[in-house]
Amino acid sequence: MDTQLKKKHARALVTVHDKDAARQLIRTIHSAGMEILSTGGTAAYIREMNIPVTAVEEMTSYPSILGGRVKTLHPAVFGGILCRPDRQADQDDMRTYDIEPVDMVITDLYPFQEMVGRGASHTEIIEHIDIGGISLIRAAAKNHDHVLVVPSAGYFEEVTELLESQRGATSLADRRRMAAAAMHVSSHYDTAIFHYLNEGHTHKVFKESIDQAHPLRYGENPHQQAVFFGAPEELFEQLSGKPLSYNNLLDVDAGIGLVREFVSPAFVIIKHTNACGVALRDRMEDAWRDALAGDPVSAFGGILIANRHISAALAETIGQIFFEALIAPSFDEEAIRVLTAGKSRILLRSKPSIMPDYRYRSLLNGVLWQSQDHKSTSPGQWRKVTTAHPDESLENDLVMANTVVKHLKSNAIALVKDHMLVGMGGGQTSRVDALKQAVKKAREFDHDLNGAVMASDAFFPFSDCMEIAHAEGIKAVIQPGGSKRDQDSIDYCNKAGMAMVFTGNRHFRH
């Protein structure tokens, strides 16, 4: 440390919401010989510790007013924080108005986000918008050449150790680092308030602040750096294996998004964000068997997602293949032992949680934002456009196929039979190529397409896909409709005795 930049602190203002968290820090600044100023409940807490404390009211000659809304907002407080000891004009003002300097500010803010999260009333939430604390943080950060700011309980331990090791002194580098922390705390807090007040997105601006960072081994490729910003522990508990990679996280997101669509017991297999195996069955053992059978080659090294319990017997079967991660709401203890024995597999126990209702991505020199594609339709909402209508069994398969295709990369086709994905084509530059890919997959794994159904994420511009589907024995089609040449496809289906329904909803995914 450059000793020329060290500053011995003499006077600290302490006003905190989480008083117990600040206890050791308060003891440390007292032991370092600093005078302590404080407000209301914090001052009372410090007195109970048998530590001398000066009430802010003694500085300002004003009591706390408006039910505690105004306590520290006074020139005697902010003048003390903002004064520059190397400026003669500042020193003249300090003497004129009898203001004493304050060279350390310790605070944490009212728990606004906690109040929103617990569903408090609007009045309660508004009362938890901190005014004095946020103003103290910004003032101290601005004057960090001379003032140390400790902006939240998350920094109390770090600063305690710093002050103990340096006998109550800090360097300019220390104060600058904490000033940056203070502005992060301030901006994060303000962003949360903005989102609460901007319900309905009246103000079209992009503001996000995520203060949990998880550095990853690398990005999509080893030469790329990557960090995940978020709280994955709110979504699942990791039971085993190495930390999730960038690509793992992409696949986990895709898998969770798809499996949450299903109420029935479901197993989903994801590879490079696309579903390569999906099955709905009464028993999870059967769901796993048929999801794997959909495309056992692509399943190698995939991400597995279940929406029901994993038993020890099922774990024995799953453990026969190589996979990156398995996600389920619960596991037998024996299942965990079986799946992790001698393996570095990632096991995640999913938690009940609410996913964001929007998505965004960076591109060009900006950000694209959109609401989630939560749109789904039931048979009663479909427009049946052909002479032949799907029976109940076909309708159930059409619902599943339309759900799966919504989660495939465009252009996308999903082929489903008996609640099982038997062929998929995704990420193709033409719809007919997506269908050809799906048919090829089905043939490769000996899936009989007679009686299967076909779903498309967007309309068919020509009847060529109907011709291919009919040749393979596909009996029903679900698509958004909306092409100028819809009638060509309808006419072909009528001629071939195929059923087709329109949903009116496109599901592009890029």
Looking at the DSSP bridge assignments, the partners of residue 12 are: 36, 104
Compute CA distances 241 → 305, 314, 466, whole Å: 16, 19, 46
Q: Judge whether 184 counts as a catalytic residue.
A: no
Return the sign of the alpha-carbon dihedral for residues 135, 140, 142, 148: negative
Q: Residue 269: helix, strand or coil by DSSP?
A: strand
Q: Judge whether 7 counts as a catalytic residue.
A: no
* Catalytic residue of the set 184, 195, 272, 436: 272
* Catalytic residue of the set 6, 142, 184, 214: 142
Compute CA distances 182 → 101, 153, 215, 317, whole Å: 20, 12, 22, 52
At position 396, the amino acid (one-letter code) is N
Distance (Å, rounded) from C-alpha 324 to C-alpha 49?
A: 53
Alpha helix segments (H runs only) across 49-155: 56-60, 75-82, 88-96, 112-117, 122-127, 132-142
Tokens at 100, concatenated: 């004493």
Looking at the DSSP bridge assignments, the partners of residue 15 are: 107
CB 456 within 8 A of CB 489: no
Residue 248, CB-side half-sphere exposure with 13 Å CA sphere: 22
Distance (Å, rounded) from C-alpha 424 to C-alpha 277?
A: 9
Q: Which DSSP string corresponds to 200-248?
A: T--S---------EEE-S-SSSTTS--EEES-GGGTEEEEESSPP-HHH
To the nearest 10 degrees (0 to 180), the angle between helices 172-197 and 132-142 is 140
Catalytically active residues, by annotation: 142, 272
